[in-house]
Chains A and B, each alone.
Chain A
Amino acid sequence: MNEASIIVCRCEEVTLEQIRETIRQHGCSARETKLRTRAGMGICGGRICRPLLDRLAIKPGGDFPSELPLKVQPPVRPVSFTDWGQS
């Protein structure tokens, strides 16, 4: 399977190959993978690829790895500046 042709983060157009290669090279966590590749940093706020990044970066096994979840920033839903300002 050609991993270069599979886009994982649609907003930032990061491929499965780029993410896997980054994890392999740096042995990094989901958060570090995000910072290195920009996967999950696009306009959707990581809503689509966040669970995929977790799946790729978290090593299986162990009781509830205390892995830091990828950071979530408000607003967690798209909202216009007008509405945001009124709050």
Chain B
Amino acid sequence: MNTFYDLIVVGAGPAGLAAACSAAQAGLKVLLLDEFMKPGGRLLGQLHQEPGGAWWNGIREAELLVLGARNAGAHIQTGVSVTGLNRTSDNSWTIWTNQGCYHAPFVLLATGAAESANPLPGWTLPGVMSIGAAQVMTNVQRVRVGNRGVVIGMSVLAMAIVSELRLAGINLAAIVLPPGNALSGNASDPEAVLGSLLRFADLAPSAMLKYGAKLLQSSMLRKLALTFFPKQGIRMLDVPLQLRRCAIEIVGRDAVEGVLIADVTARGEPIAGSERIVEADFVCIAGGLYPLAELAAVAGCPFRYVPELGGHVPVHGENMQTPLPGLYVAGNITGVESAKVAIAQGTVAGLSIAINAAAKKAPGEAEVKDAMAQVKRTRSEALIQFHPDIARSRAKLYQTEIV
């Protein structure tokens, strides 16, 4: 605990690991903290097939990053929860954890994102969970979430997790839309949802979604497709994807027993008289992700509200530096994107911290520029665009031009 560190990284996910690696390679003494028992963050739950057919195995990717960070000399400590962060008079940061305090002149917050809920009546019953919780139980804890589930909400992330649950042999009765209310926004509008699903049509195992994608670029054709979309849904991985049905309420006495669903019009309005109950013993709510930035907030960092990036994000520049001296951010805390973008951002953060700390083997400005260009390249090549306007929002935030 008395060891001196130049940089403490909070969060050993893709961004934190990449940053620890590049900063340690430049000669900084780096400590990486994570509250889970294993480093890797949300990479540990990821498993999907890429368009070329290759598998993205998050556990393997995490192992490689951990190896890279350790070989570069970074220390990784798991099972540590960071609970607070403040700047002390001697110009260093104090990091409060459940296992004592740490001090360092540079801190990188790579805390990732959290899931936001999409409340509906009955969502507080035991057996209701976020879809990410089902992912962690299945792929990380290896616990069977239940016997028959219903997924409420359709998004890129939800579909990726549905495919993982199917690989694990978990039975899903249906994927339905959330009910329309003040909180659901576009998530309950069949046309908007179809549009967002088509953005990742290459990943969709259903031939109809795949080959229909180009055809459905026009809004008129999308409306037409929705009009004829079968009520019982299109089977995706043996699970009916029901764009024309929404959940009304989760029912059960002491725990989930089923979901009351209804047919909806092409505009998402429930059709009276079409309600019926789908039996289920667990429900996954897919409500999307938001940047987990609590530590930046307690440190006093200013924020911007950027819906395209998932909500409130700490103000930061393209070099991942915040306005607070020595405080940096990288990964999903800066906006919700893929793990590959997080890795690229982590490298940028590690390099720019090394320059600022005047590290022994500090990189030149050109190297940081290259790393920043790599972030943009990775973003434009990303398989999954979490939001169509990410690049534009980022450019506005950094006041640079879109590549």
Chain A residues engaging chain B, CB cutoff 8 angstroms:
1-3, 5-8, 10, 16, 20, 47-49, 51-52, 54-56, 58, 60, 63-67, 69, 71-77, 79-80, 83-84, 86-87
In the complex, per-residue mask of B85-127: 1 if CB is within 8 Å of any chain A CB, else 0: 1000000000011111100000000000010110111011000
| Given A16-B119, A77-B98, A87-B96, also A7-B83 (CB < 8 A) | no
Quick check: A20 and B182 within 8 Å, CB to CB?
A: yes
Residues in A neighbouring B306, C-beta threshold 8 A: 64
**Which of A52, A56, A83, A86 is in CB contact (< 8 Å) with B117?**
A52
Chain B residues within an 8 Å CB radius of A66: 304
Interface residues in B371-403 (C-beta closer than 8 Å to A): 396-397
Q: Nearest residue in A to B185 (C-beta to C-beta)?
A: A55
Subset of 17 A-B contacts with CB under 8 Å: A1-B181, A6-B123, A7-B123, A48-B117, A51-B290, A52-B119, A55-B185, A56-B182, A64-B304, A69-B312, A74-B84, A74-B298, A76-B84, A76-B298, A77-B81, A79-B98, A87-B83
A87 in contact with B119 given A69-B297, A73-B298 (CB within 8 Å): no
Contact pick for A54, options B96, B182, B305, CB 8 Å: B305
- Using CB atoms, name the residue of chain B closest to A4: B121
Q: Please state if A1 and B83 are interface contacts (CB–CB under 8 Å).
A: no
Q: Which residues of A contact B73 (CB under 8 A)?
A: none
* Interface contact A1-B114, CB-CB below 8 Å: no
Which residue in chain B gives the minimum CB-CB distance to A13? Answer: B124
The A contact surface, by secondary structure, is: loop
Report the Cα distance A71→B297, complex, angstroms: 7
B82 within 8 A of A: yes
- Contact mask B10-48 → A, CB, 8 Å, 1/0? 000000000000000000000000010000000000000
Pair B119/A7 contact, Cβ less than 8 Å: yes
B interface residues (Cβ-Cβ under 8 A, vs A) = 35, 81-85, 96-101, 114, 116-117, 119-121, 123-124, 179-183, 185, 249, 290, 294-295, 297-298, 303-307, 311-312, 396-397
Residues of B with C-beta under 8 A to A64: 304-306, 396-397
Selected contact of B180 from candidates A1, A2, A5, A6, CB within 8 Å: A1
**Distance (whole angstroms) from the CB of A49 to the closest CB of chain B:** 8
A5–B251 Cα gap in the complex (Å)? Answer: 12
Report the bound CA distance from A55 to B396 in whole Å.
21
A66 to B305, CA, bound (A): 7
- Complex Cα gap A48–B85 (Å): 21
Give the residue of B83, B290, B294 whose beta carbon is less than 8 angstroms from that of A79: B83
Interface pair A16/B183, CB less than 8 Å apart: yes
Interchain CA distance A48-B396 in the complex, whole Å? 29
**A84 touching B83 in the complex, CB below 8 Å, given contacts A64-B396, A65-B305:** yes
Do the beta carbons of B82 and A2 come within 8 Å of each other? no
Question: Known: A6-B121, A7-B123, A79-B83. Is A72-B181 also a contact (CB below 8 A)?
Answer: no
Q: Report chain B residues within 8 Å CB of A10.
A: 124
Interface contact A6-B120, CB-CB below 8 Å:
yes
Chain A residue with the shortest CB-CB distance to B181: A1
* New A-B contacts (16) at CB < 8 Å, excluding given A75-B83, A87-B96: A1-B180, A1-B181, A3-B182, A6-B119, A52-B119, A56-B182, A69-B312, A72-B298, A74-B84, A74-B298, A75-B96, A76-B82, A76-B294, A77-B81, A79-B81, A87-B83
Q: CB distance B304 to A72 under 8 Å?
A: no
Cβ distance A12 to chain B, nearest Cβ, rounded Å:
13
* A67 close to B124 (CB less than 8 A): no
| Of A5, A20, A87, most B-chain CB atoms within 10 Å | A87
- CB-defined contacts of B96 to chain A, threshold 8 Å: 74-75, 87
State the Cβ distance, A53 to closest chain B Cβ, in Å. Answer: 10
Query: Once bound together, how far apart are the Cα atoms of A49 and B82, in whole Å?
Result: 21
> Which residue of chain A is the closest to B85 with respect to CB atoms?
A74
* Complex CA distance for A3 and B184, rounded to whole angstroms: 12
Q: Closest residue to A86 on the B side, CB-wise? A: B100
Residue of A60, A79, A80 with most chain B CB atoms under a 10 A cut-off:
A79
A6–B181 touching, CB < 8 Å: yes
A54 pairs with B311, CB closer than 8 A:
yes
Of chain A, the residue at the smallest CB distance from B289 is A51
B356 CB → nearest A CB, Å: 25
CB-defined contacts of A80 to chain B, threshold 8 Å: 98
What's the least CB distance linking B300 to chain A, in Å? 11
Most buried by A among B97, B182, B397: B182
